[in-house]
Every structure is written in C-alpha cells, then in structure tokens.
C-alpha cells in the first residue's frame, strides 16, 4: 500500500473519530423535551438524559430519548468501523470500535454544543456496548432489570449494571486480549464517577425512587 493510500485511510479514521464525538454530543434529551416546550436543564435533576426526561416531561419522550442516546453510541461503535473497512479495504482492529465508542460517550458526557455539560452516559454506553460487547451488555442489562425491579432506583441499577458489564468482560473477552476488558473497566469507572452525586444521595437515603407519579409531581420532588 503506497503512502497516498495510507494517508487517505488515516484521514478517514481520524475523520470518523471526530464525527463519533459530534454524533455523541447531540443532546437528544434537550431537543426532544423542547417538543413539549420544556428546557430539560431547568426541571427535575437538570440532567439531559432519558431518566430526567421520563420523570419530568413525558414517559414516551423519556423512552424515545433513551433509544436515541443509545443509537448515537451504537452507530459510531458498530457502523463507523464497517464504513472504514468498506471505504479503505483495510482490516480494522477491534480497538477502532472501542475508540469510536469512547469518543461518542465523551461527546454525550462533555458535549461541545452545551458548553461541555452533558449527561451521565448510561444509554449511550449501552448502545456502544451492544455494538462491541453484546454478551457482556446482555448480562449487564439483565442485572439492571433485576436491581431496578427490586430497588426502584434507576441510578443504583445503572451503577450495578455498569460494574457487572466490566466484570463480565474480563471473563468473556480476556482470551481476545486485554484491550476490551480494560476499556470497559475504564468506562465503568467514568460512569460510576458521573453518578457520584447519586451515590451520595443513596448513602443519605435521599435518592429519588422511580414512581408512577405525574411528571409535574415528580419534578417537585426531584427539586
């Protein structure tokens, strides 16, 4: 392969990396909430993620936000590497999908569009992980459902599921190298760190449980 072709491949890899961040940074929670005339940053917890949209605006829009945020993690992690392969004809290492996933999650967590103040990255991480580590993600989602059903705490379920995904990766993918388990462990640490306020509230007994209250009532409690 000549230097010109290598240069184009490198440019494509870097270009898709930048696009992964920009896609991840799209604030779907904010945009979707505005369809109801609500600035999601000014109600409930102030977070732009699906949970706050679900609680403070609309259940349907909360679910839509979750899937939109998950999609912006899955596309960079799964679709972008395939496009690099198709356009360049070169073999792409698994680390490229990891890198694009990380950039998308960084975009959601620190979005350039919102002054680098974004969400906690759970839905976007879930979408990315479905693309790069489906088995570990399936185990994590099952744990999320169990913990949530028992505790009714979205934050606790998210934290436990994140840790379980990282732990599962060391069992399921360790024979394929250390890149994926290490990356998922770092991601878990980031997500847990982003939930530090929730952890403090859980310890204090003041964390908000999921309920069937109306958005307006939940908003009053969340404030």
- Distance from C-alpha of 27 to C-alpha of 49, rounded to nearest angstrom: 8
**Are 97 and 78 within 8 A, CB to CB?**
yes
Q: What is the mean pLDDT of residues 138-149?
A: 95
How many domains are there within the chain? 1
Tokens of 17: 């990396």
The predicted model scores a pTM of: 0.79
* pLDDT tens digits for range 180-221: 899 899 989 988 998 999 999 999 999 988 775 544 434 433
CA angle 116, 121, 123 (to 5 degrees): 135
Work out the percent of the chain whose per-residue pLDDT is above 70: 90
Question: Which residue range is the domain that position 11 belongs to?
Answer: 3-222
**Are 36 and 57 within 8 A, CB to CB?**
yes
* pLDDT tens digits for range 11-67: 778 899 999 999 999 999 999 999 999 999 999 889 999 989 998 999 999 999 999
Q: How far is CA 86 from the centre of its chain?
A: 26
């Amino acid at each position: 392969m000549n230097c010109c072709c290598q240069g184009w491949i490198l440019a494509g890899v870097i270009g898709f990396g930048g696009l992964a961040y920009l896609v991840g940074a799209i604030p779907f929670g904010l945009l979707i909430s505005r369809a109801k005339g609500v600035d999601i940053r000014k109600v409930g917890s102030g977070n732009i993620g699906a949970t706050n949209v679900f609680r403070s605006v609309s259940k349907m829009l909360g679910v839509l936000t979750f899937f939109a945020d998950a999609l912006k993690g899955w596309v960079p992690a799964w679709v972008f590497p395939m496009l690099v392969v198709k356009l360049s004809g070169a073999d792409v290492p698994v680390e490229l999908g990891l890198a694009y996933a990380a950039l998308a999650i960084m975009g959601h967590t620190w979005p350039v569009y919102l002054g680098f103040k974004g969400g906690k990255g759970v839905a976007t991480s879930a979408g990315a992980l479905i693309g790069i580590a489906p088995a570990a993600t399936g185990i994590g989602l099952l744990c999320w459902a169990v913990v949530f059903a028992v505790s009714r705490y979205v934050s606790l379920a998210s934290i436990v599921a994140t840790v379980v995904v990282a732990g599962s990766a060391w069992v399921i993918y360790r024979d394929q190298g250390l890149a994926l388990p290490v990356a998922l462990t770092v991601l878990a640490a980031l997500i847990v760190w982003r939930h530090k306020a929730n952890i403090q509230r859980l310890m204090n007994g003041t964390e908000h449980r999921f309920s069937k209250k109306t958005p307006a009532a939940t908003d009053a409690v969340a404030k």
